[in-house]
Amino acid sequence: MDNDITINKSILHVLDTNAGIPVLSDVLLNMTTGVKEYVEKHVERSIKDADIKRTAFRSQSSFKDLISEYRSHPDELVRASREISQLFFDYMLEHIEIPSADLVFVDFDLKHETHLGIFKFNYKHGYIHYVNTDHGLSNDILVQPCVLPTESQKLDEFVIINMGTNEILIKEKKYSIDNQKDYYISNQLLQCEDAISEKEAFDIVEKTVKKIIATEYSGDINKLNTVKQVMADDYEADSEIDIDNIAKITFNGDEMVQAKFKEAVEQNGLFEKTVPVTQNIEKKIFKKQKFITDTGIEISIPADQLNRNDIIEFKNNPDGTISVEIKNIGLLNQK
């Protein structure tokens, strides 16, 4: 468990729309050792989730007023969480596609800053054994329709609000709202500014640059490797994805292609020139690059070695084929 996270208090409310009314707690959650560990693990896993979006309240957000009220009265988590839970439940009743869940509120400190987490534990189907003694002894299997996610499972929906800065981390799913798919938590309930996740930003850049290189440079391997190296360097230096830097170095000297790339990135939904990124997507930035030849040979290369000509070299041959030379091998193991 991350030692920088300290749970102050928590409360759970049952939002089962099949019941017709919410079951709202009057007291805080009893944080036994097992429950505390379960809640802590979900808080930690959520903070590290690559699908979180960083956003803020819109100026006219009424939800912001609820948070401001709780900030002024931090001892009133029971009251504040009941109001927010009722807000969620009323909206869920109107839109039946939104799954029932337990709403778990967690007041916690992260690096000496207080946060309020609203974690939606959507129900899963699970199975348990049942010893039936009605007509002799028989062991049966029963379906449990309201099973909570396990410690190792990621949550589909949650909100984490920095009580000092009002910065919001949110992960959510789209559901049918008035016959149209929409993010109901950010757009309808919290009323946040539009945002995309680090993972979405990375995927947009990666897919766009691959498409540009495929159409403009016939899929030049060296340019694809250059993109990987630029993104890794920008992350290590400034913890960001720099669109202008990627365009400049990858398409060096070709201003027309640079402009095409930037335009295509915006068309795909990424409008910022620089995107701050965290360790949440470090694995995607430094993941091994895999190549598969037309003859079925697979090559997997660490990202930091793609442009090391003393280790591996890609050559474009006059006949349109590609030669790959792996150099200076000290040890070759078979897997």
Output b/e per residue, 291-307; b: 16+ Cβ within 10 A.
Answer: eeeeeeeeeebebeebb
CB count in 10 Å sphere of residue 200: 18
Q: Which pLDDT does position 306 carry in this prediction? A: 67
| Amino acid identity, position 130 | Y
pLDDT at 2: 47
Predicted local distance difference test score (pLDDT) of residue 313: 77
Query: Which stretches in the chain have pLDDT values below 50?
Result: 1-2
- Provide the total of helices (H) and of strands (E) in the chain, helices listed first: 9, 16
**Whole-number Å distance between alpha carbons of 206 and 209:** 5
Domain ranges of the chain: 5-121+149-190, 198-326
What are the phi and psi torsion angles at 266 (to 5°)? -65, -40
pLDDT in tens, 31-52: 999 999 999 999 999 999 999 9
Q: What is the pLDDT of residue 331?
A: 74
What is the rounded CA–CA span in Å between residue 104 and residue 88? 12
Q: What is the pLDDT of residues 63-111, one digit of tens each?
A: 999 999 999 999 999 999 999 999 999 999 999 999 999 999 999 999 8
Separation of alpha carbons 335 and 333, rounded Å: 7
Q: What are phi and psi of 238, to 5 degrees?
A: -130, 5
- pLDDT attached to residue 285: 82
The token pair at 293 is 């030849």
Residues whose CB falls within 8 Å of the CB of residue 300, separated by 6 or more in sequence, listed in order: 288, 289, 290, 291
pLDDT of res. 307: 65
What's the pLDDT at 295? 81
In angstroms, how far is CA 242 from the centroid of its own chain?
20
pLDDT, one tens digit per residue, over 309-324 is 777 777 778 877 888 8
| Token pair for 97 | 């596609």
